Chain A
Amino acid sequence: MVKTAFSILAVTAAAGIALTPVAASAATAGPAVLAYSSSPSASDPNTTVTFTVTVGALSLTAPDTVNLGSGAPGTTITGLLGGGAPGPSVVVTDDRALLAASWIATASASSWTTGSGTPAETIPVTDVGYSVGPITTTGTITATATNRPAGTAAGDLSGAPQAVVTGTAGVGDNTAGWDPAISVAVPAFAVGGIYTGTLTQSVS
């Protein structure tokens, strides 16, 4: 009698333990509303009741330091951001795309400096160009590239960031990747040295 009761209890306990995680994973399976969270606090005069979403994230590849190569003053140094490694070096992953999301990727740069950054040790950012190259995509996404050649008004990466790739009509999980070519036109007056510059790529 005690033995059977015990075994029934054990089976029930096991069944309870087994069922609970299944229920939890079913709730997190889709991008639907999970729960109403936010409780109004007495100090907020106007609060908005919110709910939490579980759609995916917008992701970008981690930044790296890249060698572009070397060149004499008066020449243009061009290097791929991937440093010659196969495959795209800049990849945007849009897991929010269940809702036909879109994104814009922009680029802006600083001037290239060496030593203490005097005018002779500076390559102005107007001499820096960004060429997108072919875009490889996975999943469904329409990605359009806009090149930013050095020395042009459209290619001026010094002020507000310039759009380089826009992604739209994404369906499901999708990625768009490219390996941009960064060109630095070295002015004739630039002194020799190791020049370093910053390239900021933003996706929103």
Chain B
Amino acid sequence: MRRSISFIMFALAAGFLSILSPVASAATSSSPSAAPGPQGTFGVRLVDVPVSEAGNPRALRYIIDYLPTGAVIHRRILVANDEARTARFSVYADAAYISGGEFVGYAGATRNELTNWISVQHPTLTLAAGAEVMDMITIRVPPGATRGEHYGVIWVQQSAKARARDAESGVVEVSRVGVRLYVAVGRGGAPPTSFDITSITGHLTDARQPVIVAHVNNTGGRAIDVNGSARLTDGPGGTSSGPFPAQRIVTLAPGQSWNITFAAPKSLPDGSWQVTVTLASGLTKATATAPIQLTANVAAQAATSATPWIWLALGGLVALVVATGWYARQHRRRQAPA
């Protein structure tokens, strides 16, 4: 009986240990082990995503929705405090705009039509070191909402405490991380997402860096975040190179267009190449192929084209010397027999 009890105790103890160890390893793997920066970091991530957008990578990090008027949706976000101290955060909705290929949230808590529809369950959060908590974002589309896509950001903001004792001019930092909102209003089927690559060009910069530029035009009814790569084939000697990633992702509202650039290494040989640009935004893709010429700039070409002239001048000089020598010889011969 005693042996059974001790066996049971051992089994229970082994059970407890096995419960603890996977949880402990899960805890260390979920939070960053070495926090960059002296005080650590804080972060946000989207938690709830509509099932209909399950395969769309953009929908897993931004709140993207197409809603009729009168709709109410709830989206949870997770706020994580990976700092070594208790921190206070404020959570609020802000307006945003898309311009110049960039999605930019306005400074502060700017209002637009979309932010008026948004309520945040916990506008202020106090999190202990290493803690994380969910916050609920509710979006209610009113009956008179404007049709079309609206842009905003849900910011999680932390402000540094201003220290009045500083003897020198100082900066009080405010840090914000956000989840973007791309919320479209309409009835019936969602507007299509589509974009075109209207041109592809290539050139060498002054530093002899090959750059490929593709012009992208948003032809659909939803905003796109375009990323992709360029592959070069049929180069000098039949070589191919790449793929080279885009230098910067380009965000375009419906009807906007912008250039997306790809940088190839400087060691790429000059000459004519065939470029294939493959771009994607979420699940929508576009590909285009065009020939480009990567040649040195005009000033260098002018310098090299001056050399034939030097050869011509030298040749003329040599001819002159030979002709003079021959004529002098002829003259001496005529005088010799006398």
Contact B169 A112 (CB under 8 A): yes
Within A44-72, the residues touching B (CB, 8 Å) are 44-53, 55-71
Within B60-114, the residues touching A (CB, 8 Å) are 60-61, 65, 67-68, 70-76, 78, 80, 82-83, 87, 97, 102-107
Tell me which residues across on chain B come within 8 A of A20, comparing CB atoms.
19
Q: Does A204 contact B (CB under 8 A)?
A: yes
Contact A201 B160 (CB under 8 A): no
Contact B169 A21 (CB under 8 A): no
Dominant secondary structure at the A interface: mixed
List the A residue with the shortest CB-CB distance to B5: A6
Known contacts A66-B170, A196-B169; A91/B41 CB under 8 A = yes
The interface bits of chain B over 110-153 (1 if a CB of A lies within 8 angstroms of the residue's CB, else 0) are 00000000000000000000000000000000000000000001
Known contacts A50-B48, A55-B60; A89/B178 CB under 8 A = no
Q: Does B310 contact A (CB under 8 A)?
A: no
Q: How far is it, in angstroms, between the C-alpha of A69 and the C-alpha of B168 when the chains are bound?
A: 5
Q: How far is it, in angstroms, between the C-alpha of A168 and the C-alpha of B160 when the chains are bound?
A: 28
CB distance from A131 to the nearest CB of B (A): 14
Q: How far is it, in angstroms, between the C-alpha of A22 and the C-alpha of B72 when the chains are bound?
A: 38
Q: How far is it, in angstroms, between the C-alpha of A18 and the C-alpha of B18 when the chains are bound?
A: 5
Q: Does A42 contact B (CB under 8 A)?
A: no
Tell me which residues across on chain B come within 8 A of A195, comparing CB atoms.
169-170
CB distance from B124 to the nearest CB of A (A): 16
Tell me which residues across on chain B come within 8 A of A13, comparing CB atoms.
11-12, 15
The interface bits of chain A over 166-191 (1 if a CB of B lies within 8 angstroms of the residue's CB, else 0) are 10110000010100001010000000
Tell me which residues across on chain A come within 8 A of B173, comparing CB atoms.
63-66, 81, 198-201
Contact A61 B40 (CB under 8 A): yes
Q: Does B314 contact A (CB under 8 A)?
A: no
Which of B36, B155, B163, B168 is A88 in contact with, Cβ under 8 Å? B36
Q: How far is it, in angstroms, between the C-alpha of A108 and the C-alpha of B174 when the chains are bound?
A: 10
Interface segment out of the listed B245-253, B297-305, B316-324? B245-253
Which of B51, B61, B74, B107 is A108 in contact with, Cβ under 8 Å? B107
Size of the chain B interface, CB-CB below 8 angstroms: 91
Within B16-51, the residues touching A (CB, 8 Å) are 16, 18-19, 21-23, 25-26, 32, 36-51
CB distance from B95 to the nearest CB of A (A): 10
Which of B75, B102, B170, B225 is A68 in contact with, Cβ under 8 Å? B170
Q: How far is it, in angstroms, between the C-alpha of A176 and the C-alpha of B228 when the chains are bound?
A: 20
CB distance from B5 to the nearest CB of A (A): 9
Contact A69 B41 (CB under 8 A): no
Known contacts A10-B8, A65-B163; A163/B177 CB under 8 A = no
Contact A169 B245 (CB under 8 A): yes
Tell me which residues across on chain B come within 8 A of A21, comparing CB atoms.
18-19, 21-23
CB distance from A53 to the nearest CB of B (A): 5
Q: How far is it, in angstroms, between the C-alpha of A66 and the C-alpha of B158 when the chains are bound?
A: 15
Q: Does A160 contact B (CB under 8 A)?
A: yes
Contact B171 A201 (CB under 8 A): no
Contact B248 A18 (CB under 8 A): no
The interface bits of chain B over 292-335 (1 if a CB of A lies within 8 angstroms of the residue's CB, else 0) are 00000000000000000000000000000000000000000000
Known contacts A91-B37, A161-B107, A169-B245; A201/B73 CB under 8 A = no
Tell me which residues across on chain A come within 8 A of B7, comparing CB atoms.
7, 10
Which of A11, A17, A88, A204 is B180 in contact with, Cβ under 8 Å? A204
Q: Does B4 contact A (CB under 8 A)?
A: yes
CB distance from B158 to the nearest CB of A (A): 6
Q: Does B206 contact A (CB under 8 A)?
A: no
Tell me which residues across on chain A come within 8 A of B57, comparing CB atoms.
99-101
Shortest Cβ-Cβ A-B pairs, 6 listed: A17-B15, A59-B43, A57-B43, A63-B173, A61-B37, A14-B11
What are 18 residue pairs bridging A and B, where the CB atoms are less than 8 Å apart in the complex? A6-B8, A20-B19, A48-B52, A52-B76, A53-B48, A60-B41, A60-B177, A63-B173, A65-B173, A68-B168, A70-B169, A96-B45, A112-B169, A184-B169, A194-B169, A195-B170, A198-B172, A199-B174
Q: Which residues of B contact A (CB under 8 A)?
A: 1, 3-4, 7-8, 11-12, 14-16, 18-19, 21-23, 25-26, 32, 36-52, 54, 57, 60-61, 65, 67-68, 70-76, 78, 80, 82-83, 87, 97, 102-107, 153, 155, 158-163, 166-180, 225, 227, 245-249
Q: Which residues of A contact B (CB under 8 A)?
A: 3, 6-7, 10-11, 13-14, 16-18, 20-22, 24-25, 28, 33, 36-38, 44-53, 55-71, 77, 79, 81, 85, 87-91, 93, 95-96, 99-102, 104, 106, 108, 112, 142, 144, 159-161, 163, 166, 168-169, 175, 177, 182, 184, 194-204
